[in-house]
């Protein structure tokens, strides 16, 4: 079993709040997306600590402030995941002691008729509005993936925009004959990055199931 500690996700602003809805704590929260970014050299990446929690909540609310319901739902989601799950990878981007970015990966299971494969899902990611388009989002994603590889995580999934996540090696999940189980969310924005090539065949015809905090999901064991 691999060890590790982070869909809401990020799309370019013109797509914000237009892609789909996801239930959060019994309500519908709009999936919002952050702009891709390009090169900020002032920022360091480190593991989130308890002292960051208030700043991270403010950051997420600001980053998702243009999204109907989403800014509250995303911050609440992060807090409830912290409370309920010990297997998160949470990173912050820091500039002179100010948190300017945050990314979370949480456990995801791929369920097929023959078994269950454990990996991680990226969601949410947030960058301070004043610091978007400066490379912070890219650095957060790359840093998170590097740590997951080092911990032996076999795959990462994300719901995201097709112009953003392929740069990190994500491919449409349909190419791996994989779907997600989230109710009411389109499949064409679902991506997977395989970190261990040996798992590719075992995920075929599977359904990725997020933590229950993400809302209602169908059971992938129905797929045969």
* pLDDT digits 0-9 by tens, 107-134: 999 999 889 999 999 999 999 999 998 9
**Cα–Cα distances in Å, from 97 out to 44, 48, 58, 92, 184?**
10, 12, 15, 11, 39
- 185 token code pair: 């969310």
Do residues 89 and 5 lie in contact, with contact meaning Cβ atoms separated by under 8 Å? yes
Coil, strand or helix: which one is 220? helix
Q: Which residues contact 212 (CB under 8 A, 6 or more apart)?
A: none
Angle, alpha carbons 124-149-141 (nearest 5°): 30
Q: Above 60 in pLDDT, residue 182?
A: yes
Q: Above 70 in pLDDT, residue 3?
A: no
Q: Strand locations in the chain, DSSP E?
A: 21-24, 27-30, 44-47, 89-95, 98-112, 115-127, 155-159, 171-172, 178-180, 190-194, 206-209
pLDDT in tens, 74-83: 999 999 999 9
Beta bridge partners of 28: 23
Which pLDDT band holds residue 21 (cuts at 50, 70, 90)? very low
Over residues 195-217, mean pLDDT: 93
**Cα–Cα distances in Å, from 88 out to 205, 208, 219, 220?**
26, 17, 22, 22
- 9 token code pair: 């996700």
Domains in the chain, start-ordered, CATH in brackets? 13-222 (3.40.630.30)
* pTM (two decimals): 0.81
Percent residues over pLDDT 90 in the chain = 68
The pLDDT value given to residue 72: 60
Query: Omega of the bond prior to 214 within 30 degrees of 0, cis?
Result: no
């Amino acid at each position: 079993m691999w060890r590790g500690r982070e869909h809401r996700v990020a799309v370019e602003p013109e797509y914000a709040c237009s892609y789909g809805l996801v239930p959060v704590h019994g309500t519908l929260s709009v999936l919002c997306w952050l702009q891709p970014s390009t090169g900020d050299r002032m920022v360091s990446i480190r593991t989130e600590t308890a002292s960051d929690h208030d700043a991270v909540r403010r950051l997420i609310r600001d980053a998702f402030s243009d999204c109907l319901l989403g800014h509250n739902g995303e911050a609440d989601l992060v807090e409830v995941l912290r409370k309920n799950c010990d297997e998160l990878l949470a990173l912050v981007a820091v500039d002179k002691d100010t948190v300017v970015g945050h990314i979370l990966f949480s456990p995801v299971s791929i369920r097929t008729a023959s078994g269950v494969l454990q990996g991680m899902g990226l969601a949410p990611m947030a960058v301070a509005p004043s610091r978007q388009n400066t490379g912070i989002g890219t650095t957060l994603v790359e840093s998170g993936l590097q740590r997951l590889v080092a911990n032996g995580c076999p795959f990462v999934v994300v719901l995201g925009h097709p112009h953003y996540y392929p740069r990190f090696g994500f491919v449409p999940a349909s190419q791996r004959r994989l779907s997600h189980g989230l109710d009411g969310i389109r499949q064409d924005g679902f991506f997977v990055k395989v970190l261990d090539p040996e798992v590719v065949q075992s995920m075929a015809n599977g359904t990725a199931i997020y933590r229950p905090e993400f809302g209602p999901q169908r059971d992938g064991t129905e797929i045969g």
